[in-house]
Structure 1
């Protein structure tokens, strides 16, 4: 198994080898032995659970793999607070989701019983639904070979940036985001529960968030900071999913995984002209706290 961390430069420029060869060794020898929490037996709300076959749960394995990458990068950091920040900002944040006995990816498991949990299902997005044909999956470029006639000596400034991992956000959602997301889906009670809709793409609020998450994913994947992907999951992915999956008040609150119900956006009425500016008063609108009156500019253009 190949390590998920890259070697870096330590003090004096010497290469720093990873402490653990892969994320499984990292989990077994460092991470899991230091997680000491009370595990639920019967009551599941606001408690923790665990599964000894954590590696069989892809949402858990993905998080622990990125925790390993971030750990190795943190070891190479010269900042005195780096490890403290890693523990509170990465380990704690990930394990609040991993161990959530009520709604998390292990909610059906106990410390003694492994129960597989399917990831979120989805219906294929109709062709050209978002106005452009879906791009084909990006091909991995062939290994570059030195050409004595064209090789410029390895100038990094002339190298093209690598192609995105996913050609568009729909591929990202179907091939990475949803397969790595497994939660408890609400039955009757909706408060504090999660729900889902297989036709997620018909919910504008969901599609916009997923598109933004795709851009963040591609940036984190190529960031020089190797804690970026772990941070992306806990600071972007998790907050967005909490809003999207909120069964009580979120954009899918009328849906179930196999039952789509359209939910309109907030209604509005257009404010009357000069509502935010008093005629005859020279005080700029922005000084009144409302910001520029762009409606007036539009009227001039017309």
Structure 2
């Protein structure tokens, strides 16, 4: 009596065991977000910085939780989309870089209070949160 699987099913199952998922993963171009920011983003995304409420940037961006999260998202999206030889980089600029960089560089963004000359001076506090009623979620 058979288990309902043909011979080819047994062979397919055996071949799946031998597959190394790491082989299919492309190698990262930048090994971490800091390398991506200094090696790709900063030299490419050039802007005139203005400490009087215009475009802001903190040279110690890694001291800002929101910046870390957004820049990590930019890096991961870039690593994925760079492999698309058709519109990948255009999609990255339109859907990722321009969106996140507009937020990061905005006068009221996470770098508010910092300056490229004086560095990290942010005194922004987390959004206030209260515990939700028990059982709500």
TM-score range, shorter-chain basis?
0.7 to 0.9
State the match for 1:203 in structure 2. Answer: 64
State the match for 2:47 in structure 1. Answer: 183
Q: CA RMSD in A?
A: 1.7
How far is 1:259 from its partner? 2.6
Query: What secondary structure is seen at the aligned counterpart in 2 of 1:254?
Result: coil
Alignment of 1:238 with 2:103, yes or no, is: no
After superposition, where does 1:1-302 map in structure 2 within 5 Å?
160-188=24-52, 190=53, 193-223=54-84, 225-247=85-107, 249-257=108-116, 258-262=118-122, 263-274=124-135, 276=136, 293=137
State the match for 1:29 in structure 2. Answer: none
Segments of 5+ residues of structure 2 without an aligned counterpart are 1-22
Aligned mates of 2:109, 2:71 — CA distance in 1: 15
How far is 1:174 from its partner? 1.2
How far is 1:187 from its partner? 3.6
Q: TM-score, normalized by length of structure 1?
A: 0.35
State the match for 2:20 in structure 1. Answer: none
State the match for 1:96 in structure 2. Answer: none
The verdict on how the C-alpha distance between 1:162 and 1:266 changes in structure 2, with shifts beyond 3 A counting, is: same
Q: TM-score, normalized by length of structure 2?
A: 0.74
The verdict on how the C-alpha distance between 1:161 and 1:259 changes in structure 2, with shifts beyond 3 A counting, is: closer
Offset from partner CA, 1:176-231 (integer Å, 9 cap, x none): 1111121121242x1xx2111100000000000010111100111112x5111112
Q: Which has more radius of gyration?
A: 1
How far is 1:161 from its partner? 4.1
The verdict on how the C-alpha distance between 1:162 and 1:271 changes in structure 2, with shifts beyond 3 A counting, is: closer
The verdict on how the C-alpha distance between 1:160 and 1:253 changes in structure 2, with shifts beyond 3 A counting, is: same
Aligned mates of 2:103, 2:57 — CA distance in 1: 11
